[in-house]
Amino acid sequence: EDLALGLANAGGTAKTSGVEFEDLVQTMALIAPNFSSASDAGTSLKTFISRLAPTTGPATKAMMDLGLYTAEAGSAFFDAQGQFIGMEAAAGLLKGATAGLSEEQRLLAFNTIFGSDAIRAASAIAGAGAEGFNAMGESMAGAGTAAETAAIQNQGFNFAMDSLMGSVETLQITLGTLLLPTR
């Protein structure tokens, strides 16, 4: 239920910005441990996504200083046609752009670009980078595959147990019938 609230909080902005649903869910899974609730993570992610295109002079300058914005091309988080580049690429850009910064510089840059509401999402995404984003996707896919495999194995086990119990009942009926006194 909490994850649904988080996705609802970020969903509209994500869709408007071109974030694919799978990327949204994977990003929520990536950043949620840094929040008290998935709902809070969704709110932070919503603000993060909306600020990938800077709306203030200081945010634009901070992005320019990091190589994430040029006057000619605009935000590096969008391609030449204005389409979002995807969360994997965005995480990689953000990690690369902030790799050489001190903690103080990173805090100032994230606060200027993303604001206090989205600083935790930005920090988690930059910390993970493209590699961490992909690792989360692989982990999620593995969990799905493991759950499917377990369900299939459990289904096979349950079928075998039902068959065994049916055979035991048939044996009990047959033996019971043979042992009943005849009149």
CB-CB contact of 59 with 113 (8 Å)? yes
**Secondary structure of the chain in HEC code, one letter for each residue:** CHHHHHHHHHHHHHHHHCCCHHHHHHHHHHHHHHCCCHHHHHHHHHHHHHCCCCCCHHHHHHHHHCCCEECCCEECCECCCCCECCHHHHHHHHHHHHCCCCHHHHHHHHHHHHHHHHHHHHHHHHHHHHHHHHHHHHHHHHHHHHHHHHHHHHHHHHHHHHHHHHHHHHHHHHHHHHHCCCC
Is the entire prediction scored with pTM above 0.85?
no
Cα angle, residue 82 at apex, residues 88 and 38 outer, rounded to 5°: 40
What's the pLDDT score for residue 140? 87
What's the pLDDT score for residue 141? 85
What's the pLDDT score for residue 154? 46
CB-CB contact of 107 with 18 (8 Å)? no
What's the pLDDT score for residue 6? 86
**Secondary structure of 21-49 in HEC code, one letter for each residue:** HHHHHHHHHHHHHHCCCHHHHHHHHHHHH
What's the pLDDT score for residue 149? 44
Per residue of the chain (183 residues), what is the pLDDT tens digit?
A: 777 888 888 999 999 999 999 999 999 999 999 999 989 999 999 999 999 999 999 999 999 999 999 999 999 999 999 999 999 999 999 999 999 999 999 999 999 999 999 999 999 999 999 999 999 999 888 775 444 544 454 455 555 555 555 655 665 565 565 556 655
